[in-house]
Amino acid sequence: MQQTDSLSTPLTQLSPDEALFRDSVYEFADREIRPLVREMDEHAKIPPHLLASLFDLGVMAVEIPEAHGGAGATFFHSVLAVEALSRVDPSIGVLVDVQNTLVINAVMRWASEAQKAAHLPKLASGTIGAYALSEAGSGSDAFAMATRGVERGDGFILNGRKLWITNGNEAGLFIVFANVNPEAGYRGITAFLVERGFPGFTVGKKEDKLGIRASSTCELLLEDCHVPRGNVLGEVGKGYKVAIETLNEGRIGIGAQMVGLAQGALDATIKYTKERKQFGKAIADFQSVQFQIARAATEVEAARLMVYNAARLRDAGSPFLKEAAMCKIFSSEVAEHVSSLAVNLFGGYGFVKDYPVEKFFRDAKIGQIYEGTSNLQLQTIAKQILG
């Protein structure tokens, strides 16, 4: 198989259809998103017309069956879309990632047929989803959550506060986790499908962040929020299982985001080093620069292989817990290293907003924090290896 495509990105185990899909998403991002990147970063907002274009493109409903209005493709295609978008703007990459690998993934796996019929067509046509697990006192220790659910009448009353919720500002559907039986510990945790208009549910403060600024990160307030019994996702008391299994797949999506980010930073750096002249020649002609770029390209390719492998395993129904943790931690470290190198090789220009690499550098840091910190990934990997 040919080793480079029309975009000078390794094909890395892609079929022609997969390569075409990834290229088409990247071409869309290059044409429609790139001109908006700086404005979105400065204003910390995604314009509504771009959100509509993402739905029209089909990347907001990759795995949803065609019968429900989706593309009917695979988890691997979701990963390819996230990678391609993140190569231009990781903020858009994570928007699409949460929609597909967390929200739609959870609904596809755990929802009843009635719930699927009610929500999947909306998620395919214009409704953005969010995944509400984290709280002020339960970040890495996610199951120490304080949000409570009390059974009442034909449903549950939820009270609590969620933090760091990606897509919170745009979402119309939220998967919210609450403990309905605290005495049972994590076995009381239950997942609920909460719609934006439910009484007692409010989207609160939007965080002012270091990176991925266009992606909204919000708090959610639940004050006697009534959720009908029919909106329980899965079974009462099985929310921990929904959370764990969905997050394992979500980590592959974050790996794809970080690979795309690293590739975007590397693309910009290669172009710049060919144009920037010092001592009478392009800095790309200096061996020290060549070696740094070669090592960075090797790291990006290794991270890409790890992400693709984890996604392939997931689609094949094979165990992938260790591989998901490995690809997430490695790709986030590669993204930070490659984007830092990009700033260095751009010199003074790398430190100003007129050039793209300072944003990639800011965006990269979150990769080692959300969807499970690097220490948690190491813990997971160690448990899998050591038994």
Catalytic residues: 371
How far CA 179 is from CA of 35, 94, 186, in Å, comes to 44, 27, 8
Nearest 5°: phi and psi at 122?
-70, -45
d(CA 345, CA 293): 10
d(CA 263, CA 269): 10
159-197 exposure pattern, b = at least 16 Cβ within 10 A, e = fewer: bbbbbbbbbbbbbbbbbbbbbbbeeeebebbbbbbbbbe
Q: Which distant-in-sequence residues (6+ apart) come within 8 Å of 207 by Cβ? A: 164, 217, 218, 219
3-state SS string for 37-81 = HHHHHHHCCCCHHHHHHHHHHCCCCCCCCHHHCCCCCCHHHHHHH
**Ramachandran region, residue 132 (left: φ > 0; alpha: ψ -120 to 50; beta: rest):** beta
Question: Which residues pair with residue 131 across a beta bridge?
Answer: 175
Q: 316: buried, middle or exposed (CB in 10 Å: 19+, 13-18, 0-12)?
A: exposed
d(CA 191, CA 180): 10
How far CA 228 is from CA of 112, 171, 242, in Å, comes to 14, 19, 19
Residue type for position 134: S
Dihedral (CA of 148, 156, 169, 325) sign: positive
Dihedral (CA of 51, 81, 369, 233) sign: positive
